[in-house]
């Protein structure tokens, strides 16, 4: 028997934080606005929005936290990596 672990256990919650900030700030926040202010490309931001398990760099996370005025704990979510047992063929 082989024990394998999943690969995606940290999720970027950019969409959720953007929605929270839009409500708090009382205005729409666009990807272009974040890209212009943070220096992160729009394509990278779209990837983060589409794929929450996107492998974001710490530099990007830092820039997003600074612009969105949030903590890292609001922007990313960690889920424990649960082992998956697989039968090994002899």
So where are the chain's domains?
2-86
Q: What is the CATH number of domain 2-86?
A: 1.10.260.40
* Tokens linked to 24: 């708090």
* pLDDT tens per residue across all 90 residues of the chain: 455 555 657 899 999 999 999 999 999 999 999 999 999 999 999 999 999 888 899 999 999 999 999 999 999 998 877 666 566 655
Distance, CA of 19 to CA of 26 (rounded, Å): 10
Beta bridge mates, 83: 5
Stated as kind and residue range, the H or E segment containing 85 is strand 83-86
Among the listed residues 79, 90, 63, the one whose alpha carbon sits nearest the alpha carbon of residue 7: 79
Predicted pLDDT of residue 85? 58
């Amino acid at each position: 028997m082989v024990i394998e672990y999943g690969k995606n256990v940290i999720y970027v919650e950019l969409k959720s934080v953007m929605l929270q900030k839009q409500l708090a700030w009382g205005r729409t926040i666009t990807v272009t606005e974040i890209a212009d202010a943070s220096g992160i490309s729009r394509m990278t931001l779209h990837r983060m929005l589409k794929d929450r398990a996107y492998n974001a760099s710490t530099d990007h996370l830092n820039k997003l936290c600074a612009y969105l005025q949030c903590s890292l704990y609001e922007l990313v979510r960690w889920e424990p990596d649960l082992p998956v047992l697989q039968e090994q063929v002899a």
